[in-house]
Amino acid sequence: MTVAASSPQTTAPRAGAPFEHATEPANERAAEPANERAAGPANERAAGARSAGEPVNEPRLDFAGLTPYDEYVKASTLHRLQQPRSADPGEMAFLVTTQVMELWFGLLVYEWHTACGALAEDRLDDALASLRRSVAELRALAASWTPVSSLTPAQFNAYRSALGEASGFQSAAYREMEFLLGEKSASLLQPHADAPHAYAQLEQALHAPSLYDTVLDFLHRRGFDVPREVLDRDLSQRYEPHPGVEAVWVRIYTTGDEPLVQLGEVLTDIAELFGRWRTDHLMATRRAMGAKRGTGGSSGVAWLEKRAARLVFPELWTARGHV
């Protein structure tokens, strides 16, 4: 089972989710039947109260067409996106869980792009606000595993064939999330070679600074001795730890520069929660399918074990031993 696989920008992040979603065409919305106007004593009393200028206690019920809630949230669109491929009722929980995770991936990418933009403009408070939101969102992402975390092999096998070759490993939003955390690999663009928009976006993220790169550049501008070979490294490569960067974090924690300590701590929260999410993925997969090959052709548990063993923002962990 692989439910999910698995830069800083100087301009403001794109509006909306980082991976654009199609909106309903105007003619399609127009074709939807208009809601019937609510009738009855409650609605009549509310109408009379409005005309008399009296306080109205009942919610408004008379909307033509979509409700304002549906117009904003696109709830009716969201609820049309579940299309199970098997007769097993458990597949619905698996499908919704995966879709919810995709939404969290997109939001996290948005938050980290926002933080990168703020750091590039030396707006530390704004960057911290985005990063702290992302910590809460990572906790919610981890909680998304709950409906499928205790699947037995028999339960998963009841609809596993419906997935075909689909695997969370193929998620473009998750891949951009990893790239932003410094977990980069050009080979991981290949699954998206025939999806031009996703491929172009991931290729840009591959070559752009990660969140951690942006943080180190920010610290360099604040007068910290971030090694030049780190600042000038090939950004398309996975970030590797450097003793000079460790020394920077030791200095920050030793001198007690509170805003920068807060930056280090929120990054550590992100790294820890991301690591936990990877471990939860590993354990859910191990429980549901043991050592079988993944649906996307990976080695399954062995692949996830390798990924789960990696820590992001490595010097934030090693520096603690020198403080």
Q: Which residues are annotated as a binding site?
A: 160, 281, 295
Report yes or no: 61 and 38 within 8 Å, Cβ to Cβ. Answer: yes
Euclidean distance between CA atoms 199 and 214, whole angstroms? 23
Rounded-to-integer distance, Cα 8 and Cα 82, Å = 34
Binding residues for substrate: 160, 295
* Backbone φ and ψ of 89, nearest 5°: -65, -20
Q: Give the separation between CA 245 and CA 224, rounded to whole angstroms.
A: 9
Is residue 21 within 8 Å of residue 49, measured between CB atoms?
Answer: no
**Binding site members for heme:** 281
Give φ, ψ of 172 to 5 degrees.
-70, -35
- Amino acid (one-letter) located at 273: L
Tokens of 191: 């699954």
First to last CA, the chain: 41
Map tokens 């790294």 to a residue.
271
Task: Please report, to the nearest 10 degrees, the dihedral formed by the alpha carbons of residues 39, 41, 47, 52 taken in order.
Answer: 170
Q: Give the SS3 label for residue 42.
A: helix
Say how many CA atoms lie within 13 Å of 262 toward its Cβ: 11
Identify whether the C-beta of residue 104 lies closer than 8 Å to the C-beta of residue 144: yes
**Burial 241-259, CB ≥16 within 10 A → b, else e:** ebeebbbbbbbbbeeeeee
